[in-house]
Structure 1
Amino acid sequence: MAEYFNVRVYGLLINEQNEVLVSDEQEYGNRFIKFPGGGLEIGEGLIDGLKREFVEECEMEVEINGHFYTTDFFVRSAFNNSQIISVYYKVKNITPINFAIKTVEYDFDGEGDVLQAFRWVKISELFPDNVTFPTDKRVVELLRAEL
């Protein structure tokens, strides 16, 4: 049984070509593909947390265009003994995209223990197996259902 809750918040940034931004990440030898976002900090609301995550990860400001999904099944963290609760919002960038957009999975610039790269993926070509974590897999199903 999980020992505590871990609240995460993610943004679904969808462009005019109906592509969604995904994050390829590597942390201490573990590779995973997810949506941009991360853990909520103590004293922070979901919206403020998501805006902070986009500034930290993407150096970009976003506006929130609405709630998309909240975890509705049990998910144990892949990294510790917590129960993951993830909240997803549709977002729109309000500052320009200034980071490199990659076309190949895990195409990192530089080296280190923590690496990140971003890709646009057509929602019509995105499948649950293209992302790593259970809640992201559910979100992919829901995004595809909107097509």
Structure 2
Amino acid sequence: MSYFNIRVYGLLINGQNELLLSDEFAAGVYFTKFPGGGLEFGEGLIDGLKREFIEECELEIEVISHFYTTDFFEKSSFNDSQVVSVYYLVKPVSPFTITFKTAAFDFDDGKDQSFRWLKLDAITTDDVTFRTDKTVVNLLKHQLISK
């Protein structure tokens, strides 16, 4: 049986024009994506994104604006679901308390996730794993960097 998997992600750009990336290890796979994750039943998109940022980054955020919603078929890399991803530009409303890394997959003991900043003008589609994130990188480069 097929089903939809609704995902919500935040694009957080700091004052140095760097984008926050999440490096993770799950289900035996290493991958890089934007902070965020799956919507829980009964949850709205923005509430889900705020929850994900608190869970993953220990950070309260404010949503600035919608950026992109998947507009093509994408099968999950982990199960038989069809993934629909929604991306928002976000900004922090509380201070960061997590440690940022400079290398991908530089996990602290017992952790399977780490965060790092990447310059917007240097990011490429090779810096993220999933097709929808690669689409977002191209849109970011076109819409934000070319301004």
> How high is the TM-score relative to the length of structure 1?
0.95
Q: Aligned partners of 2:45, 2:98: CA distance in 1, in Å?
A: 24
Say if 2:27 and 2:78, in contact at 8 Å, map to a contact too. no
Corresponding residue for residue 136 of structure 1: 133
The corresponding residue for 2:118 is 121
Residue 11 of structure 1 deviates from its aligned partner by 0.2
Q: Matches of 1:135 and 1:29 in 2, distance apart? A: 20
Give the equivalent residue in structure 2 for 1:81.
80
1:66 aligned residue: 65
Write the mapping of 1:1-147 to structure 2, written as runs, cut at 5 A.
Answer: 3-111=2-110, 115-145=112-142, 146-147=144-145
- Deviation string for 1:86-107 (max 9, x for gaps)? 0000000000011000000100
Task: Give unmatched runs, 5+ long, in structure 2.
Answer: none
Structure 1 residue 28: deviation in Å?
3.6
Over residues 23-54 of structure 1, what are the superposed CA-to-partner deviations in whole Å (9 max), with x where a residue is unaligned? 00011421000000000000000000000000
Deviation per CA, 1:39-78, whole angstroms, max 9, x where unpaired? 0000000000000000000111000000000000110000
SS of equivalent to 2:51? helix
Q: Partners of 1:26 and 1:110 in 2: how far apart?
A: 13
For residues 86-138 of structure 1, what are the alpha-carbon distances to aligned partners after superposition, in whole Å with 9 as ceiling and x for unaligned? Answer: 000000000001100000010000136xx000000001111011100000000
Alignment TM-score, normalising by the size of structure 2: 0.95
Deviation at 1:17, TM superposition (A): 1.1
For 1:116, the aligned partner's letter is Q
Q: Runs of at least 4 residues of structure 1 off by over 3 A?
A: none
Distance in 2 between the 1:68 and 1:15 partners?
17
Aligned residues: 144
Over aligned residues, Cα RMSD in angstroms? 1.0
